[in-house]
Structure 1
Amino acid sequence: MTNRQIDNRIKKLQELERQRKEIEQKENELKAEIKRDLESKDIEELQTGNFIVRRKTIISNSLDSKALKTAFPELCEQFTKPTKSKRFTIA
């Protein structure tokens, strides 16, 4: 590809990213509106004509790696492995 072709693709990519962000913002606004309605009604589930909307409390347990590193640094180092990845950026 020529530099001009890459520039054009980057411009198209930036426009798509802008549109995606705009759509995500609208999506989040609609979700927040529905969540507020459920909260104001103090319910976790609502059945409409076509949909069932749920907002349930989920409890999950996760490892506190910072506390584990503080309490057992040697153990953490023993079971820590490096990962390799590549990052794609456009500036």
Structure 2
Amino acid sequence: MDKTELNSKVKDLRELRRMSEEIAAEIEAITDTIKREMTAQGVDMLAGDDWKATWKQVQSARFDSRAFKVAMPDLYERFTRSAETRRFVLA
């Protein structure tokens, strides 16, 4: 691929990322509108002709690795492993 083609691909990628950000913002805005309506109605489920939306409290338990590292640094080191990845950045 020559430089002209690469420049074109990068331009396309930037435009698609910009569009993706705009779509994500629009999705978030519509989601927030539906959540506000659920709050106003005092419900955690709404349904329509071919859809159902739920917004419920969910309990979860997560491992606090920072607290574990402080409380038991030796054990933390024994059970920590390194991983190598590659990151693509377009600036």
> What TM-score, normalized to structure 2?
0.94
Report deviation, 1:42. 1.5
1:72 aligns with 2:79: no
Which residue in the other structure is 1:46 paired with?
46
* Percent identity over paired residues: 30
| Letter matched to residue 22 of structure 2 | E
Report deviation, 1:50. 2.2
Q: Which runs of 5+ in 1 are unaligned?
A: none
Q: Aligned to 1:46, what secondary structure does the other structure show? A: strand
1:52-82 Cα deviation digits (max 9, x unpaired): 1100110000011111011100000000000
Root-mean-square deviation (Å): 0.9
CA distance in 1 between partners of 2:47 and 2:23 (Å): 26
CA distance in 1 between partners of 2:75 and 2:19 (Å): 46
1:10 aligns with 2:37: no
Report deviation, 1:49. 2.5
> What TM-score, normalized to structure 1?
0.94
Q: Aligned to 1:49, what secondary structure does the other structure show? A: coil
CA distance in 2 between partners of 1:49 and 1:5 (Å): 47
Runs of 4+ in 1 over 6 A off after TM superposition: none
Q: Aligned to 1:30, what secondary structure does the other structure show? A: helix
